[in-house]
Amino acid sequence: MTGNFIAVPIAALFCYLFLMVAFMAAKKTKLINSFLMVLGALLLWTGGSFCMRMQLIPSIPFWYDISVLGLTFLPFALFNFVDEFVGSKTGLMKKIWFLLFIAVNAVNITTGALLAPPELVYSGSEERFVYHPTWAAAILFVYFATIAVHMLIILIKSSRNNELVRKQFTPIILGIIILFIGHLFVMFSIFQGFPTDILSGLINAFCIFYALYKRRLFKLTLLVSRGICYFITLGLAILIFSNAISFMERFIMMNFPEFVEYNILIISVLFTLSILLIYYAIKKFIDNVFIKEEILRAENLKKFSYSVSKSLQIDEILEELVRVIQDTIGVKKVHVCVAGDSTGEFTIVHSSSPVGFSTFSIQKDNPLVMWLCRHNECLLMKDFKRTMAYKSMWETEKKQLADLDIECLAPLKDEDELVGIVLLTGKERNSNFAFDDVSFLASVDSIGSIAVKNSKLYEKVYYEARTDELTGLLNRKYFYVTIQEEYEKNTDHSLALIILNIDDFKLYNQLYGNKEGDIALQRVAQIIRATVGSNGYVARYGGKEFAIILPMYDILSSKTLAENIRKQILNMNKRTKDYTLKVLTVSGGICAIPHSASTVKHLIDNADMAVYHAKRKGKNLILAYSVEKRELDNQTESVGRDVKADIYSEYASTIYALTAAIDAKDHYTFNHSKRVSYYATKLAYAYGMDEDYVRIIKEAALLHDIGKIGISEQILNKADRLNDEEYEEMKCHVENSIGIIKHLPSLDYVIPAVIGHHEWYDGRGYPRRIAKEDIPLSARMLCISDSFDAMTSKRPYRLPLPVDEAIKILEAGAGRQFDPVLVPIFVHMVRNGLINSESEMDKAYEEEALL
């Protein structure tokens, strides 16, 4: 090798060392390790050869043996690399090649039989290494060739039916071919002195490097570290120093002879300064080319993290999230979907573009959502399209995503729960999403998820603190806050307040139970909320009272609104499919600032007063407050009572008509109803119910078996036990009773008692199988009275039970069939003679009839 081409092995050595240092920093995999092994072999070969030619210590044969070691190790290292690249399992052959490599070197190092060290020949001023190869050198070539053929077979085999694999292998095959050609060229005189073999080795190393890069086995930026900067600086410094030192000495001597004695110092200082400059220049270059983007990303991430940690407002957090993604990744649009609390449906709540997404929503059972729930990673649409989950997407869902041009989705997760989805459109230059983008998104999303979760929790707590749990309306406390705020905001305008109070709601609860009462409250709240919409605020002002704050409303428009609500509530129960419920009505009062109040306190007091007047005037009425209303006299109350009495007398004739009808059909049932009515009335009084309620119980008892009109007489009067079919028919009398009563709207209040009088306290009765307090109180009273009379009466199929026996059965059934609280009261009355005999009962009934 002539001195002119010394740069080739130096450059090769430098490149190998550079790659080695760089890959030392990369994430280690078997494949990367195998590449490092190839680099090691190349280093040994080129380095050994270079040191031998430089005649460095210890000796030429030593460096020669190192060089041959590298050269013979290279095929094995390449084989190992190909093996790992393909993922084939050639364990045995790999071992054989390794043993052969050991054997070849052992023989050659000890005997030099295969390829002896070259002889150093001096011709004039030139030194040359002359080789004396024998036939034994062919063994080495056979060794190389066999491994090369084996490698090619593996490569061809694994890429036969796979174009992608073939594309990946191309640089490796090319590298091997170049390596061979490089060695071949050494033989030609035209290349004499030029190290084509070393150059081919270098090209081969870069071919492998390219193959690894194409396979995305490492990140280019990760290879660039501070160590690399030092390494390059060192290399450049040696080059500059070795070439510039004599020139600098001469320059100082000729131009500044007075400083000759300081030339070492001057050169050292200049040299140090130049090294520093080189280092910073390289660092700057590397930062700009490789790491600038990384740094920018890290800074953006830090900023984002800081911003979201300061806020609990979800809008602010989402705005930051969108901004950081758009700034860093450079996508055209970013949308953030958050799951709705009730529906679980994901709707866009924030977007980088304010238009074009208002109707977008993703159902929680969307395969995309399910995928993001299961996997905690970003999803590229093009990858998702290849999954089976995509097959179950609806066409509308696919179109929705396509219309928004969504290319990437990132989950916002709180542990296992998906709280939101970030939707990204394509990138600005239509480039693909890179590994870095996906990693960045993952980092942003994990920070964003926590922030979204916290803000949602905050909003939930904030919401719960100001809303009523049952109805979802504002609570009383927040009502006062809101009305005060609105009062202050509307000092120059009007502010109306409507208070609505449900009429006879206590009775409704008693009739149908608290559960039905709660449902009614929810439905009333729903009606009010839907009607008011965004025009005002609705609050649950009291147990059965609702308040509506209406900024900018006057009395007239408030009354129109209130009337609308009143009518809807009036019709509310008429539409229910189930057993007819009592009609609910509301009484309402309206007051407005500045028309009839000047402060918040007056506003509320006056609206309350108007409600009071509406109640006094017969309920189901909306009244606006005016000063004259204060003068309402007490007449309303007495008139109200008279009206009630009239209504009852009107009902009485209907009830007697119905009982007469059952008497005509089945005299037993007629008498039985009378007795049950008597027992139930007594029980209701004893339990502390008021006059009105006792009247309802009495009427319900009289009508409770009215449905038996529809049961055949054979079954009603059958002397034997009823068979299953007959029993089923008998059970229908409850529904029959309701079928008759529901046509008499004025008697609808008895329905709860009638429908429930065969329900058992433990839920095993019929027809609805409801239990405990879900059974209306009136029905539980009827159940005891009905059973007691049935047991103590004479029937065609059995004699009456003695009273003591019946009491025992009642007591035994307390908590199972009967209400455990009511049974002791009833038993106490029977034992103490507070419930009279049958004749007295009849007498009482007749007196009542006369009245």
Partner 1 sequence: MRLEEKLKNLHSDAVWQEYCGFLDLNIDEYMQIQNRLMLEQISLWSKSGLGQSILNGKNPDSIEEFRKQVPLTSYEDYADILLLKQEYMLPDKPAIWIQTTWEGGRNPIKVAPFSKSMLDTYKINMMACMILATSPEKGKFNIKAADTFLYGLAPLPYATGLVPVLLNEEIGIEFLPPVKEAVKMSFSERNKKGFKLGLRKGIDYFFGLGSVTYFISLSLSLMGSSKSKNESTESKKMFRYSPFMVLRILRAKYCCKKENRELKPKDLFKLKGLMIVGTDNECYKDDLEDLWGIRPMEMFAGTEPGCIGTETWTRDGLYFFPDACFYEFIPEEEMDKHLETPEYQPKTYLMNEVIPNEKYELVISVLKGGAFVRYRVGDVYRCIGLESNTEKIKIPRFKYVDRVPDIIDIAGFTRISEGCIRDVVDLSGLAIKDWLAVKEYNNQNRPLLHMYIEMKRESLISSAITKDILREHLSVYFKYVDNDYKDLKRILGMDPLKITILKCGTFEEYERQKEKPIRAINPSPYEVKELLELQNEDYELNTGGWRY
Give residues 394-423 in contact with partner 1 (rule: CB under 8 A): 394-396
Give residues 19-48 in contact with partner 1 (rule: CB under 8 A): none
In angstroms, give the least distance from the CB of 364 to partner 1: 13
According to DSSP, the β-strands at 361-362 and 119-123 are unpaired
Whole-angstrom Cα distance, residue 657 to residue 849? 12
In angstroms, give the least distance from the CB of 425 to partner 1: 19
Q: Which stretch binds partner 1 (CB under 8 A): 156-164, 278-286, 445-453, 540-548?
A: 156-164
Which CB, 262 or 394, lies closer to partner 1?
394
In angstroms, give the least distance from the CB of 362 to partner 1: 14
Which CB, 163 or 847, lies closer to partner 1?
163
Which CB, 391 or 575, lies closer to partner 1?
391
- Secondary structure element (H or E) that encloses residue 812, with its range: helix 803-813
- Secondary structure element (H or E) that encloses residue 412, with its range: strand 406-414
Size (the chain), residues? 851
Q: Does 95 bind partner 1 (CB under 8 A)?
A: no
Cα 453 to its chain centre, rounded Å, is 10
Which CB, 398 or 619, lies closer to partner 1?
398
Contact assessment for residue 737 and residue 754, using Cβ atoms and an 8 Å cutoff:
yes
Whole-angstrom Cα distance, residue 232 to residue 668? 114
Which CB, 284 or 382, lies closer to partner 1?
382
Whole-angstrom Cα distance, residue 218 to residue 220? 6
The C-alpha angle 609, 612, 613, rounded to 5 degrees, equals 90
Which CB, 386 or 601, lies closer to partner 1?
386
In angstroms, give the least distance from the CB of 305 to partner 1: 35
In angstroms, give the least distance from the CB of 92 to partner 1: 24
In angstroms, give the least distance from the CB of 216 to partner 1: 12
In angstroms, give the least distance from the CB of 392 to partner 1: 4
Q: Does 847 bind partner 1 (CB under 8 A)?
A: no
Whole-angstrom Cα distance, residue 662 to residue 602? 58
* Bridge partners, residue 550, by sequence: 496
Give residues 788-817 in contact with partner 1 (rule: CB under 8 A): none
Whole-angstrom Cα distance, residue 476 to residue 331? 47
Q: Does 280 bind partner 1 (CB under 8 A)?
A: no
In angstroms, give the least distance from the CB of 153 to partner 1: 19
In angstroms, give the least distance from the CB of 160 to partner 1: 8
Which CB, 165 or 291, lies closer to partner 1?
165
Q: Which stretch binds partner 1 (CB under 8 A): 155-163, 295-303, 488-496, 766-774?
A: 155-163
Spell out, one character per residue from 106 to 145, where the chain touches partner 1: x when CB under 8 A holds, - when not.
----------------------------------------
Whole-angstrom Cα distance, residue 336 to residue 346? 9
From 677, 650, 682, select the one nearest 662 (Cα to Cα): 677
Which CB, 367 or 707, lies closer to partner 1?
367
Q: How many CA atoms lie within 13 A of 241 on its CB side?
A: 17
In angstroms, give the least distance from the CB of 88 to partner 1: 15
Which CB, 300 or 366, lies closer to partner 1?
366
Q: Does 162 bind partner 1 (CB under 8 A)?
A: yes
Q: Residue from 24, 139, 165, 715 that binds partner 1 (CB under 8 A)? A: 165
Give residues 377-396 in contact with partner 1 (rule: CB under 8 A): 382, 385-388, 391-392, 394-396
Q: Residue from 57, 92, 130, 164 that binds partner 1 (CB under 8 A)? A: 164
Q: How many CA atoms lie within 13 A of 613 on its CB side?
A: 21
In angstroms, give the least distance from the CB of 388 to partner 1: 5
In angstroms, give the least distance from the CB of 434 to partner 1: 16
- Compute how many other C-beta atoms are within 10 angstroms of the C-beta atom of residue 738: 20
Contact assessment for residue 339 and residue 418, using Cβ atoms and an 8 Å cutoff:
yes
In angstroms, give the least distance from the CB of 571 to partner 1: 25
Which CB, 266 or 393, lies closer to partner 1?
393
Which CB, 162 or 484, lies closer to partner 1?
162
In angstroms, give the least distance from the CB of 384 to partner 1: 11
Block residue for tokens 């050659």: 108
According to DSSP, the β-strands at 495-502 and 417-425 are unpaired
Which CB, 341 or 383, lies closer to partner 1?
383
Which CB, 59 or 432, lies closer to partner 1?
432
Whole-angstrom Cα distance, residue 451 to residue 97? 58
- Compute how many other C-beta atoms are within 10 angstroms of the C-beta atom of residue 201: 29
The reply to whether omega before 58 is within 30° of 0 (cis) is: yes
Q: Which stretch binds partner 1 (CB under 8 A): 74-82, 161-169, 308-316, 736-744?
A: 161-169
Which CB, 386 or 577, lies closer to partner 1?
386
One-character DSSP codes across 149-210 = HHHHHHHHHHHTT-HHHHHHHHHHHHHHHHHHHHHHHHTSGGGTTS-HHHHHHHHHHHHHHH
In angstroms, give the least distance from the CB of 170 to partner 1: 13
Q: What is the largest CA-CA distance in the chain?
A: 154
Spell out, one character per residue from 328 to 367, where the chain touches partner 1: x when CB under 8 A holds, - when not.
-------------------------------------x-x
Number of residues that bind partner 1 (CB under 8 A): 18
Write the CB contacts of 562 (distance below 8 Å, at least 6 apart in sequence): 498, 500, 548, 588, 590, 622
Which CB, 166 or 731, lies closer to partner 1?
166
In angstroms, give the least distance from the CB of 387 to partner 1: 7
The reply to whether omega before 767 is within 30° of 0 (cis) is: yes
Under DSSP, the state recorded for 584 is P
Which CB, 161 or 359, lies closer to partner 1?
161
Q: Residue from 89, 123, 163, 243 that binds partner 1 (CB under 8 A)? A: 163
* Alpha helices by DSSP H, 533-688: 555-572, 600-616, 635-665, 667-686
Question: 638 exposed, middle or buried (CB, 10 Å; 0-12, 13-18, 19+)?
Answer: exposed
From 168, 145, 159, select the one nearest 79 (Cα to Cα): 145
Contact residues: partner 1, CB under 8 A = 161-165, 167, 365, 367, 382, 385-388, 391-392, 394-396
